[in-house]
Amino acid sequence: MSRWLRHHRYALQVALRRLGQHPLSSLANIVVIALMLAVPILGASVLQSAQPLARQLSVAPQLTLFLEPDVPAAAQRALLDRIRDESAGAVASATLLPREKALEILRAEPAWAQALAALPDNPLPDAIVVTLHDSEAPAREASALADQWSQWPGIDHVQLDSDWVRRLESLLSFVRWGLGLLAMAVVVVVLATVFNTVRLQALTQREEIAVARLVGATESFVRRPFLYLGALTGLAASVLALALARMALVPLNEILGRFAVSYGIEWSIGLPAAADLALAGAVVVILGAVAARLSVTRRTRF
């Protein structure tokens, strides 16, 4: 066990020394990877912070069911009871809005008072206003209920008052796919950058490696420092990417704070959970080690 630890400690020391021997090129590689990593971190931060925003802006999604003109009062109450009974888990409240009361509400608005006064009779239909419970996907659930209720007899039209939530959820879905593609691009960049870096290191250290082999060093002993070199590059890039993302969020939150206040909401972007960031960093470290292993295996003959 002590021998195994000595070998790994030696490999780590050699990797650190090789990083220090070429500080500019090592720093350039780390910065390139860090910049690529910072972009998906910021994207994930925006996505994570925007998901509860839809629920904050639409605390109570509403649907308005406009009834046909010839639906009697008894049938209206039957529709109201059917909505409450069949969709009790999704419906927070359902109320009947007679056309006379709807007209009074509109007449109370100065913008509608003069226009309604010029009409000979009440043009508004009877309606049922349904308020839904908050959920993880309010637009999807509201759309499904709207399609279901629009098929019922006596209902002329169903208006979904939170159509914008559907557009927001579609945008978030698009961002998720974009982040997935960006993550694949990050994987390629990490593999290519570390691969080329380790390959050049192996070529420049060829004489040293040859001497080590002459004195009995095994292939695993010779390759181990390169694996640590790739892993350390990925680790340094992950830490730098996290620092860059945190720095970028400071001015971004200041701008978003002023924008959100103008709409009467609170919104700020925070970094993903520490566990998610640690997992992403571990993946980058593993990718660096894998790229180093591929480089010294395919490009170097010991």
Tell me, yes or no, whether 131 and 172 share the same domain: no
Q: Mean pLDDT over residues 149-155, rounded?
A: 88
Same domain flag for 209 and 271: yes
CATH code: domain of residue 119:
3.30.70.3040
Q: Are residues 152 and 253 in the same domain?
A: no
Helix (H, G, I), strand (E, B) or coil at 202: helix
Q: Which domain holds residue 248?
A: 2-56+167-298
Q: Residue 113: pLDDT band by 50, 70, 90 thresholds?
A: low
* Higher pLDDT pick, 199 / 154: 154
Q: State residue 239's pLDDT score.
A: 93
**pLDDT (0 to 100) of residue 217:** 64
Considering the domain architecture, whether residues 268 and 181 belong to the same structural domain is answered as yes
Confidence of residue 298 (pLDDT cuts 50, 70, 90): very low
Q: Read off the pLDDT band of 243 (50, 70, 90).
A: very high
Residue 39 sits in the same domain as residue 149: no
pTM for the predicted model, two decimal places: 0.60
Task: Indicate if the pLDDT at residue 54 is higher than 90.
Answer: no
pLDDT at 50 over 60: yes
> What percentage of residues in the chain have a pLDDT greater than 90?
4
Final residue before a domain boundary, out of 126, 144, 161: 161
Average of per-residue pLDDT values in the chain: 78
Of 105, 133, 161, which residue constitutes the final position of a domain?
A: 161
How confident is the model over 158-163, as a mean pLDDT? 70
- Asked if 52 and 177 sit in the same domain, the reply is yes
Mean pLDDT of 160-185: 71
Asked if residue 198 lies in contact with residue 298, where contact means CB atoms within 8 angstroms, the answer is no
Q: Is residue 227 within 8 Å of residue 202, measured between CB atoms?
A: no
Q: Are strands 62-67 and 155-160 parallel, antiparallel or unpaired?
A: antiparallel
Residue 176, φ and ψ in degrees, nearest 5: -60, -45
Kindly state whether residues 186 and 202 are assigned to the same domain: yes
Q: Are residues 139 and 186 in the same domain?
A: no
Annotate 103-134 with DSSP letters as a single string.
HHHHHTSHHHHHHHHTSSS--PPPEEEEEEPP
Claim to verify: residue 244 and residue 189 sit in the same structural domain: yes
What is the distance of C-alpha 239 from the center of its chain?
20
pLDDT at 302: 47
pLDDT of 190-230, one tens digit each? 888 888 877 777 777 666 666 766 666 667 777 788 888 88
Residue 128 near residue 78, CB atoms below 8 Å: no
Is the same domain home to 77 and 115?
Answer: yes
In this structure, are 148 and 174 located in the same domain? no
Domain final position from 161, 195, 213? 161
123 and 153 in a common domain:
yes
State how many domains the chain has: 2
Is the pLDDT reported for residue 273 higher than 70?
yes
pLDDT tens-digit map of 63-109: 888 888 888 888 888 888 888 888 877 788 888 888 888 777 777 77
Higher-pLDDT residue of 251, 218: 251
